[in-house]
Amino acid sequence: MVAIIKAENLTKIYAGQLKAVDSISFDVEEGEIYGFLGPNGAGKTTTILVLITLLKPTGGKATLCGYDVTKETAKVRSCIGYVSQDTAVDENLTGRENLLLQGRFYHLPKDTLANRIDEVLEMVDLKDRADDLVSTYSGGMRKRLDIAEGLIHRPKILFVDEPTLGLDIQTRHKIWEYIQRLRRESNVTIFLTTHYMDEADALCDRISIIDYGRIKVIGKPNELKNQIGGDIITLKFSEQNGRTEEAIAKIKALPFVESITPVASSYTIVVKNGETAVPKIFEAANSVDVKVQAVSLKRPTLDNVFLAYTGRALREEEGSKDEIMQERMRLRRARQ
Partner 1 sequence: MKTNVIVDVWNVNWRELKRFMRQKPRIVMSIVQPIIWLALMGSMLENVVKLPYFRGVGSYLDYMAPGIVVFTTLFGGVFGGLSVVWDRRFGFLNKMLAAPISRSAIPIGKMIAATLVSGLQATIILALALAMGVNCVTGPLGLVAAIMIAMLLCLLLSGVSLALGAVIKTHETLMVVMNFLTMPLMFTSSALFPLEAMPSWLADIARWNPLTHTIDPIRIIMTKGWEWSTIIPDIAVVSTLTITVALIATMLFRRSIS
Distances (CA, A) of 77 to 19, 72, 123, 141, 303: 25, 9, 23, 25, 34
Contact set for partner 1, span 116-175 (CB under 8 A): 133, 149
Listed ranges 70-78, 199-207, 220-228, 297-305: which one lies at the site for partner 1 (CB under 8 A): 70-78
Contacts with partner 1: how many residues (CB under 8 A)? 31
Nearer to partner 1, 93 or 228 (CB): 93
**DSSP symbol at 301:** P
Of the candidate residues 46, 87, 171, 194, the single one contacting partner 1 (CB under 8 A) = 87
Residue from 8, 27, 86, 303 in contact with partner 1 (CB under 8 A): 86
Q: Does 332 bind partner 1 (CB under 8 A)?
A: no
Q: Does 322 bind partner 1 (CB under 8 A)?
A: yes
Q: Specify the pairing of strand 189-194 against strand 33-37.
A: parallel
108-117: long-range contacts, CB 8 A cutoff, minimum separation 24: 108/152, 108/153, 113/152, 116/152, 116/153, 116/154, 117/152
Distance, in Å, from the CA atom of 190 to the CA atom of 27, rounded to the nearest integer, reads 13
Binding residue for partner 1, selected from 15, 16, 17, 74, defined by CB under 8 A: 74
Binding residue for partner 1, selected from 2, 56, 324, 332, defined by CB under 8 A? 56
- The least distance separating partner 1 from the CB of residue 82, rounded to whole angstroms, comes to 4
Burial 233-259 (b: 16+ CB within 10 A, else e): bebebeeeeebbebbbebbeeeebbee
Site residues for partner 1 per CB under 8 A = 49, 52-54, 56, 74, 77-78, 80, 82, 84-88, 90, 92-93, 97, 101-102, 104-107, 133, 149, 322, 325-326, 329
